[in-house]
Amino acid sequence: MSHVMIGLVGVGKIARDQHIPAMTAVSGCQLVATADPHAALPDTPAYASLEAMLDAHPEIAAVAVCTPTHLRYSQARLALMRGKHVLLEKPPGATLSEVEDLMTVADQQGGSLFAAWHSRFAPGVAHARQWLAERRIQRVEIEWKEDVRVWHPGQAWIWQPGGMGVFDPGINALSIATAILPQPFFLRGATLQVPSNCQTPIAAELSFTDAHEAVIEAHFDFRQTGPQTWDIHIETDAGRLDLTQGGCCLAIDGEMVVEAEEREYAGLYGHFAELVARHESDVDVAPLRQVADAFLYGHREMVDAFIE
């Protein structure tokens, strides 16, 4: 498999923390240049715009889009229209409708479009999915509780429309749940707690079910201090599964079967290289659809203002 030559759009925190190290580590990918009006890397050709980067580097075959959500659609579209493959950081768009349109454009242009859900590449996820495939789900408890001040310092966008508040981490849990549960599930009720000075929730209680009336509950909270919790507990007709530490640890009937270091973005870029080689796309909007459903159908309660 030849290397996928990649141009990166948006040199922000997630690009530096995850994308660039992963691209460097994965054998199938190579970072060629970056595009960002405000930021650059020391030893990589840097451009102020996506267009300038693509003009200067015709060898770029794929674009990784790591800009703020509201900018992604037009950048991804431009890249696809210029015959490039596209990887979208999560969530794949500010709205479902624009992601839908990108899927059409990718089909028309023959480019690989990858809506990346990094948590699906956590070490225990594939095994969990396989183990659950043959079982009937009875009860699911999702606990996704972290300290926003630790993980999103100064990131005011998270409290604005499109920032999704506690659903920014919560969508990672939903991306795992929609991948590993053998039946589709859907919201029956939700409470969203929204700080009086914010647009997006700081906590959420979600109650889902599936066609077999499984009880699926999710508890998202951005106010967790001390130990952080990214756990999914599942009871089935034939045993119990615990996927904890964001998917790094998997226990089945109390016995640890996977316990590994997190290297989600390496898995993600490996998968992207395979998609490009196979001329395929991978766009599953289910996690974003679940979030939109929660905003559409959830009950809002006003809670104390959030002061960072």
Q: Please report the beta strands in 107-254, taking only residues with DSSP state E, as ranges in sequence order.
A: 113-115, 137-145, 185-195, 203-210, 215-221, 229-236, 239-244, 249-252
Q: How far is the CB of 301 from a copy of itself (least distance, A)?
A: 10
Q: CA–CA separation, 291 vs 170, rounded Å?
A: 9
Q: How far is the CB of 157 from a copy of itself (least distance, A)?
A: 13
Q: In the set 199, 224, 229, 245, which binds a copy of itself (CB under 8 A)?
A: 199
For Cα atoms 300, 305, 307, give the angle at the middle one, nearest 5 degrees: 140
Q: How far is the CB of 188 from a copy of itself (least distance, A)?
A: 8
Q: Does 151 bind a copy of itself (CB under 8 A)?
A: no
Q: How far is the CB of 160 from a copy of itself (least distance, A)?
A: 8
Q: Does 73 bind a copy of itself (CB under 8 A)?
A: yes
Q: Does 77 bind a copy of itself (CB under 8 A)?
A: yes
Q: CA–CA separation, 304 vs 202, rounded Å?
A: 10
Q: In the set 139, 299, 305, 308, which binds a copy of itself (CB under 8 A)?
A: 299
The set of residues, in sequence order, having a beta carbon less than 8 Å from that of 281 and lying 6+ positions away, is 103, 106, 107, 111, 112, 113, 114, 275
Binding mask 214-253 for a copy of itself (x = CB under 8 A): ----------------------------------------
Q: CA–CA separation, 166 vs 145, rounded Å?
A: 9
Q: In the set 14, 96, 215, 251, which binds a copy of itself (CB under 8 A)?
A: 96
Q: CA–CA separation, 225 vs 305, rounded Å?
A: 17
User: Using CB under 8 A, which of the segments 18-26, 92-100, 107-115, 217-225 binds a copy of itself?
Assistant: 92-100
Q: CA–CA separation, 269 vs 265, rounded Å?
A: 6
- Tell me how far the alpha carbon of residue 270 is from its chain's centroid: 16
Q: Does 289 bind a copy of itself (CB under 8 A)?
A: yes
* Active-site residue list: 90
Binding mask 40-69 for a copy of itself (x = CB under 8 A): ------------------------------
Cβ proximity to a copy of itself, 179 vs 276, nearer residue: 179
Output the CA torsion 36→41→46→47 (10° steps).
Answer: 10
Q: In the set 2, 27, 104, 225, which binds a copy of itself (CB under 8 A)?
A: 104
Q: CA–CA separation, 267 vs 1, rounded Å?
A: 16
User: Using CB under 8 A, which of the segments 5-13, 133-141, 257-265, 292-300 binds a copy of itself?
Assistant: 292-300
Give the footprint of a copy of itself on this chain (CB under 8 A). 70, 73, 77, 94-98, 100-101, 104-105, 160-162, 164, 184-188, 190, 199, 211, 286, 289-293, 295-300
